[in-house]
Structure 1
Amino acid sequence: MPVDAYSIAAWLKGVNPILATLLVSLLPVVEPRYGVVIGVTLYGASLFEALASSIAALLILSILLTTTIDKILDSGKNGRLSRISLVKKLVTWVEERSKSKASGLVERYGWLGLILFVAVPLPLTGVYTGAVAGLLLGIRGKKLFYALLIGGGLSLLITGLSIGLAV
């Protein structure tokens, strides 16, 4: 049975809606901006509960990715994990894809470009991809953290408003 975001989200359906929304929002293919949608539609959380859970997930992701993304990528390219050719190929693909997706905005607008990139609520433009792209394009530390947090927050705002208008 293939494991995808929907099957994981469905598996969490029996869990408290706030916790389930938080957990699903941490997944790379879901991220906080889609976690709020899943929280409201699948788990029955209120919009406020789903937004609060997704904001907490965004904060957790921003801290974790800012402090570990360089180590994770290095381990996949040059460390123990690089011995597994599939892992090395995956890391290379993620780096190339992230850099190519974000480079235009980041090269043109710098730190603000990364915020805009993360804020766009489309697949492969979120917090995870933004962290990789920011690192590869020279944005690190506090600037990376704030770009992920602000961009992710804007994306959550866009998604939250669209849900609020639809309800």
Structure 2
Amino acid sequence: MDLIATVLIAVQSALPFWESRYAIPLAIQGGYPPVAAAAIGIASNLAVVVVLLLLLEPVSDFLIARSKLFEKFFDWLFTRTRRHSERFERWGALALIPFVAVPIPVTGSWTACAAAFVFGIRFRYALPAIAAGMLIAVAVTTITMLGITSVHGMLG
């Protein structure tokens, strides 16, 4: 296991819109051991989730207190988002699981952290829900990639 490849998996897994659900299959495709790729990718992605969940509220409070521009932005964001909050009000943190699990752009753990913040979902509920969704997304993308690779290997 190459140090550069390990760092690349960790960095890619931490990136918004990419995350572990794409970094892990890419690493496996590149010859990295699947279990190691999954462990590094999931750990890196979860570390970002923990930081985001812990810091979004204090950072936004800090920015609001010091800038009218940020105050207006967060007022706009909360007003706009909470108008569409029926699913989150009904299901709470459980709504985050399918939101993260569907491996399409803008439905990853970064966006789920923002949703948890906006809808006031507490850390102790948001973290396991986001982690569960992340594990499902990683499984879906990895199994799909392995299946495509197997079929490609059989055909050519």
Q: TM-score band, normalised by the shorter chain?
A: 0.7 to 0.9
Taking structure 2 as the reference length, what is the TM-score of the superposition? Answer: 0.75
1:93 is displaced (CA, Å) by: 10
Alignment of 1:70-85 (within 5 A): 70-76=57-63, 78-80=64-66, 82=67
Gaps of 5+ in 1: 1-13
CA distance in 2, matches of 1:110, 1:116: 12
* 1:36 equivalent in structure 2: 24
Whether contact under 8 Å (1:33, 1:159) holds in the other structure is yes
- 1:142 alignment partner, one of 124, 127, 146: 124
* 1:20 equivalent in structure 2: 8
Change (3 A) 1:24 1:67: same
Gaps of 5+ in 2: 150-156
Change (3 A) 1:162 1:27: same
Q: More relative contact order in 1 or in 2 (CA 8 Å, sep 6+)?
A: 2
1:95 is displaced (CA, Å) by: 4.3
Identity %: 27
1:104 is displaced (CA, Å) by: 4.7
* 1:130 equivalent in structure 2: 112
1:127 is displaced (CA, Å) by: 0.7
The CA RMSD measured in Å over matched residues stands at 3.0
CA distance in 2, matches of 1:74, 1:48: 40
Task: Write out the 4+ residue segments of structure 1 that deviate beyond 6 Å after TM superposition.
Answer: none
